[in-house]
Structure 1
């Protein structure tokens, strides 16, 4: 395989980054459109959440298997096939006229998307010589962060101006172009030219255990809060399934087969274990902030989806030069661990800053906090991923990188589950505290109720209904106040995750990847 140069190199770079970005955008783009989709399809918000859950389940099942799938089909064939499936499924999502048709195509979209992030990084590394691999990491890192950031922005604009189906149709032209460019400009590696599939043993039992175990765990994390956790027999059953199949999967991959679909022996490596734990926290922070910030801006401040998305842009733009700076620092030999330390501090600062806001927060307040977040993500992602796999042997890199990616996705799933549960619980607590302070005969309470009543009377409401309406409006004010404080608590909790996991950074061994290892990363099924 000849390394691309000049125009050909940048075509490969643009194709790889674009494919990674659209995969990551589709993880979050539908979040802002669930209400519109539910109304259009005539289903409840609880039912339409399957649109998010099905994609996430497919994604997290496929990611750890990418190394095997690339080896079996060949990287170029697998990559192009995945883009084609993702594009076709996107078109099917847009055409869907009922919920379960949409859920089916979202699952297929997740199957195709699982390879886009994974394989794109290998293509990026292959496009650069070892001396410029830090540049490749920085460029790819932009896509990792910009995808989840642009998702709500783009989704909000589409929902406010077009039909929700365009959230999926927008992928179609990008996917078609990506297939054409990949076919024309991406070369097959030498080992892809003569694949002997008959000699490759398929770990069917391992794949089954992985799919059931990880799929069940992802479902429980995604749907647990909505289904009242263990009050639901399905959640209880899937928790039991995950508790049985995941340990069995670990045993099978280590002891039961000679050709595991995921080589878990790589987890004997300290850097990979520590790095994976830290990646879980980063994934938790990334996806939690993408979920929580729009909720705060829209439900507490009263912004539209488009306004919420626009405030993400400055933070996303600051990420670009910061990734370039990170790449230069790594190339000059700066300690990756030192860079990650500053990134961790920045992300914790974002969380604690957001935990101080209230209903009077301005656009500038949000922009400032989101810029800090962008800086933190730029400093954390690339160095942490590289350090996680830097001490692995070249043959272990494909599995190591797949594990890191899966842990980031699971970290996001944990983040969403923890956020939803914590917000619900804290809202109930704060509502109780606020109501307990409302005492009959309190002058301030009486004054507020009279003001609400007179305001309704001034609008033509009769005195009896105005009094009832005043109490109802007061209840809504209490609910909103309780929700706001619960959001602040949740931001504070996210910050604490970064603080508590901070000492783990010093367990990472500082090691610059040698050219052989860097080349192996290029071949890895990321």
Structure 2
């Protein structure tokens, strides 16, 4: 153990860091189920309510890349403390909001404040633990990052039903206060590194990321390129990213260090975390609507039958921390990705007549698979990266996870809508006067409007179920396609210089 770490109170630092991480991770999904209740209170339309989610996502996405520079320039501890305090205060304001503009503005503050919490927590856990404990540290960190979005809808639904939608925000206040007190009392600071700020690089990257999030979040609502708004976003994305890449490759001190991408482990790990973001969050976005809209599950029951997914993730992370160091991380990840593929293959065969059993065991299997993949990936991504690049690295790593989740959700929801329409038309072609009296659908009177509406409802549900199965198949293929990249990863033979030291200012 390095002498700089012997005096650290690791348990209290870890508990404080994890409280902040879970608080932020929960908030990425906990408010989703409360939107209908919020819509009535705030007297807003469904289109307007979408900005409650969009403002948070866009603000967080823009601020994540800035985390690395802020932590280097001002020290990690003050940035962490300001983020926790800002996120807690903004959460209280969200709970007190009485109008839609107030809610959107306070959610924007939440996103700005909370963006640094997850990447900084990952960097802190790396630095306060010796190299041999990095696997266990990332297992614990992974629990917070993955369990938050999984348990968020169930917790949000329970708070909304039992109390009020405002409690999905108020719950952050006591957690935030405890995290702030723990971090202020026990967390060491890092050495400040003075450096110039690449404003042009930050501006172009921020515009590109912000436009991309708006493009993905509002594309389906606005019918994609049939809307001038979406076309404008696409142009901003193309121009901004082109200028950012060109500037990064030619500037003397770019906003994002090129040295990050010279590390093969880090580069390959970012591809994997992008795909994991797609699969993890796209499935989270698909299963609850399937259960509630097509199978008539109430909110609480939906939360209960999807909870085993989180249990699987937690079990995997309790095991995988002990496996890292004993087995090749590529083998562990291969097993995890294989379990994810198997779960998606099972989900391809979901049907409207099934009971809760397939949902529970596929969720458990997929949660275990994601846990086995996520922790080794988070460990090996930084195993050969110098400590001086860790703040930037963790920020970019988590940024790609968020972008992957946004892209994945956008793609599967778009395909769901379009494939449902196509499947509906295909199924309707086979409806004839003879099939109206078949045992499969029961005797219906074509002259009675109620019978035609009932038949159309059945066709729509079946068309949607086929579309859901198609989405699960797509995610299975994507996961299979990325698995060969495992051969590019290599376990680090030695710790990178300075990786086990905390430099106290």
Which TM-score band (shorter chain)?
over 0.9
Q: Cα distance, 1:512 vs. partner?
A: 4.7
SS at match of 2:90: helix
Equivalent residue, structure 2, for 1:223: 218
Pair 265,131 (structure 1): closer, same or farther in 2 beyond 3 Å: closer
Find the aligned partners of 1:159 and 1:450 in 2 and give their Cα distance: 41
The corresponding residue for 1:504 is: 485
Query: Which residue of 1 is the match for residue 403 of structure 2?
Result: 410
Deviation digits for residues 339-365 of structure 1 (CA, Å, limit 9, x no counterpart): 111111111112121111111222222
Residue matched to 2:455: 474
- Deviation of the 1:412 alpha carbon: 0.2
Alpha-carbon distance in 2 for matches of 1:20, 1:35 = 27
The partner residue of 1:264 within 241, 252, 258 is: 258
1:299 alignment counterpart: 293
The alignment partner of 1:187 has SS state of coil
Corresponding residue number in structure 1 for 2:5: 3
**Residue 39 (1) aligns with residue 40 (2):** yes
- Rounded to whole Å, the distance in 1 between the matches of 2:378 and 2:437 is 55
Q: Would you say the 8 A contact 1:343–1:376 is kept in 2?
A: yes
2:58 aligns with 57
CA 127–273 in structure 1, closer or farther in 2 if over 3 Å, else same? closer
**Residues 120 and 394 in structure 2, CA contact (< 8 A), matched pair in contact too:** no
Residues 193-204 of structure 1: pairs in structure 2 closer than 5 A: 199-204=194-199
How far did residue 269 of structure 1 move?
A: 3.0
Q: Is it true that 1:384 corresponds to 2:377 in the alignment?
A: yes
How many residue pairs are counted as aligned between the two chains? 501
Query: Shift of the alpha carbon at 1:156?
Result: 1.6
User: SS of the counterpart of 1:331?
Assistant: coil
Of 422, 425, 450, which residue of structure 1 is paired with 2:418? 425
Whole-Å Cα distance in 2 between the matches of residues 239 and 445 of structure 1? 49
Ranges in structure 1 where 5+ consecutive residues have no aligned partner: 454-463
Q: Is the 8 A contact 2:71 2:79 kept in 1?
A: yes
TM-score, L = length of structure 1: 0.90
For 1:222 and 1:271, how far apart are their aligned partners in 2?
31
Contact kept, 8 Å, 1:350 with 1:373, in 2: the verdict is yes
Q: Which residue of 2 aligns with 1:252?
A: 247
Q: Which structure 2 residue ranges, 5 or more long, are not aligned?
A: none
User: In 1, are the aligned partners of 2:269 and 2:377 still within 8 Å (CA)?
Assistant: yes
Provide closer, same or farther for how the CA distance between residues 515 and 48 of structure 1 changes in structure 2, counting only shifts above 3 A. Answer: same
Q: What is the aligned partner in structure 2 of residue 104 from structure 1?
A: 105
Once residues 299 and 4 of structure 1 are traced to their aligned partners in structure 2, the CA distance between those partners, rounded to angstroms, is 54
Distance 2:133 2:408 in 1: 34
Residues 1:17 and 2:10 are matched in the alignment: no
User: How far has the Cα of 1:447 moved from its partner?
Assistant: 9.1
Q: Secondary structure at the match of 1:262?
A: coil
Deviations 1:467-504 (A, max 9, x none): 21221122122112211111111111111110111211
Matches within 5 A, 1:126-141: 126-141=127-142
Query: What SS does the aligned partner of 2:164 have?
Result: coil
CA 1:452–1:501 in 2, change beyond 3 Å: closer, same or farther?
Answer: farther
C-alpha displacement of 1:178: 1.2
Label 1:232 to 1:443 Cα distance change in 2 as closer, same or farther (>3 A).
Answer: closer
Distance (whole Å) between structure 1 residues aligned to residue 258 and residue 52 of structure 2: 31
* Cα 1:357/1:512, change in 2 over 3 Å: farther
Corresponding residue SS for 1:208: helix
Are the aligned partners of 2:81 and 2:183 in contact in 1 as well (CA < 8 Å)? Answer: yes
State the Cα deviation string for residues 121-152 of structure 1 (Å, max 9, x = none): 12222332232222111111111211111111
The superposition leaves residues 221-270 of structure 1 with CA deviations (integer Å, 9 ceiling, x where unpaired) of 111111111111111111101100112112222213x3322113422333
- Match runs of 1:38-437 below 5 Å: 38-189=39-190, 191-192=191-192, 199-256=194-251, 258-332=252-326, 334-437=327-430
Distance 2:484 2:350 in 1: 28
Shift of 1:366: 1.1
Q: 1:119 and 1:400, CA in 2 relative to 1: closer, same or farther beyond 3 A?
A: closer
Indicate how the Cα distance of structure 1 residues 326 and 146 shifts in structure 2: closer, same or farther if over 3 A, else same: same
Q: Contact between 2:285 and 2:409, CA under 8 Å: does it hold in 1?
A: yes
CA gap 1:5/1:376 in 2 versus in 1, 3 angstroms: farther
TM-score, normalised to structure 2, is 0.94
Distance of aligned partners of 1:311 and 1:42 in 2 relative to their CA distance in 1, 3 Å threshold: same
Comparing 203-212 with 442-451, greater Cα deviation is found at 442-451
Distance 1:512 1:35 in 2: 53
Alignment of 1:504-523 (within 5 A): 504-512=485-493, 514=495, 516=497, 518-519=499-500
Residue 461 of structure 1 is matched in structure 2 by none
Task: Give deviations 1:102-125, integer Å, cap 9, x for gaps.
Answer: 111111111111111011112222
Deviation at 1:374, TM superposition (A): 1.3
Partners of 1:217 and 1:287 in 2: CA distance: 17
**Alignment root-mean-square deviation, CA:** 2.2
1:438 alignment partner, SS class: coil
| Structure 2 contact 87–109 (Cα < 8 Å) conserved | yes
Contact 1:4 1:127 (C-alpha < 8 Å) held by counterparts: no
Residue range with higher mean Cα deviation, 438-447 or 314-323: 438-447
